[in-house]
Each structure stands twice: as structure tokens, then as C-alpha cells.
Structure 1
């Protein structure tokens, strides 16, 4: 029983640590906030190419999460980065990678592409 309590405390502690760490490196923006800034930023769709071809936010570049590490040279550190994926999990992982590589102004679309109601291509 004591082992279960310790395990539960560790799991909850790790979850809280990840939650607060994510908030420090990534701004999660509503669709309205995202629209206000993405035209002045690097808009990156981190979904796979076949998902991107089925529809994406107008003006987005496709750099899949699976290729992000090898394509970092395509992103500038001096401009904000606006990320999105289908629901938000891949863009969170992409933000963590970018933060480790020295990027500062990292933003993601809350709810991902499935919540986007703006223009798409």
C-alpha cells in the first residue's frame, strides 16, 4: 500500500512539473490571439505531409514533428514561432525541442487545427 501512495505522489508530481514547465516555454493562444500574431511570425504546421495536404492554415509551412530536429535551420530564432498540429500534443513536443535549441517566443494554437475556423487552403 505504501508503494502505491509513493508511486501516485511521483506521478502527480511529474505531471505538475511538466505542466508548469510547458507554461514557461510555450504560450497557448486562443484562435483570436493566434490570428492577431501569426502573420508577423513563422507559422509552422507540425502535422505529417498527408495531413497538411488535406488542409492547413493559409500561409503555414509544413515542418512535421518527425522532421523538426533536422529542419531547425529553416527557422529563425529572432522571430516568433507559431505552431499548430491537429489537437495540440505534437506542437507541444515541437515547442519543447525548439526551447532546448534556444528559441524564445514560441506559441501554439489552443485546440489545434481541428478548432481553427479561419481561412484554410
Structure 2
């Protein structure tokens, strides 16, 4: 079992077309609250158990980190848990934020950067 790489344009197309997918963000909680891809959920050691319980293994999962490096390890781990359509977002959130600033949300109470 392994994962695939996903470029930003493809993720953007999936979002626009309504393709069913789950975006999980593995950055630290503070970074996530300061900005993340709309609809994504924060995933860490505390929340991964409930994610696995709640998310069907046939669901497409896109893993996001800062620059697209750590997400590869997390994507490989999820693939090892039985998810057969797992992607690591190339360039990570940093690239997404730079190219899609209108598609970044912040948690309530967080001041814009």
C-alpha cells in the first residue's frame, strides 16, 4: 500500500467539481487555526483514532502539511491502515496559501496574518 502525490491544481478541480474527498491537515494546532483549506480537519495523534473510525477506507484522503514533506509519511501511514486513495499535497499549505489566498479560512477569533 502506498500513497500518491497530488498537485494544487487537481485539488482545486476536485473542490470546484464537488469530487468527494477528505482533507486532513497535520500541521500544529496553532498553524491550523491561523489558516487552513476550507473543509479540512486537523489530524494529530489525539484525533487520528476518531478519524479512522469515522472515515470509510474507500474515501479519498488528501494529507496537508507545511511544505509537502511530512504529509508523505502521514499519507504512507494512512495507506498502511487500509485507505486505498491517499494523497500527499505537493508544496503543502504554504504553496496552497500563496496560490489560493481566497481559499484559506481561519478559526474564529484569529486575526488575519
Task: Please confirm whether the aligned pair reaches a TM-score higher than 0.5, indicating the same fold.
Answer: yes
User: Could you tell me how far 1:96 is from its partner in structure 2?
Assistant: 1.5
Are 2:2 and 1:25 equivalent residues in the alignment? yes
The aligned length equals 97
Within 1, Cα distance between the matches of 2:47 and 2:89? 18
Match of 1:120 in 2: 104
Within 1, Cα distance between the matches of 2:38 and 2:26? 14
Are 2:19 and 1:42 equivalent residues in the alignment? no
Q: Structure 1: give runs of 5+ residues left out of the alignment.
A: 1-23
Alpha-carbon RMSD across the aligned residues, in angstroms, is 1.8
Is the contact made by 2:25 and 2:64 (CA closer than 8 Å) also made in structure 1?
yes
User: Could you tell me how far 1:73 is from its partner in structure 2?
Assistant: 1.7
Q: Structure 2: give runs of 5+ residues left out of the alignment.
A: 106-113
Structure with more relative contact order (C-alpha pairs < 8 Å, separation 6 or more) = 2
Q: In the TM superposition, what whole-angstrom CA distance separates every residue of 1:44-85 from its partner, at most 9, and x where no partner exists? A: 111121110110011111112x44653422322121001111
Tell me: CA distance 1:69–1:60, structure 2 relative to 1, closer, same or farther (3 Å).
closer
Tell me: CA distance 1:74–1:106, structure 2 relative to 1, closer, same or farther (3 Å).
same
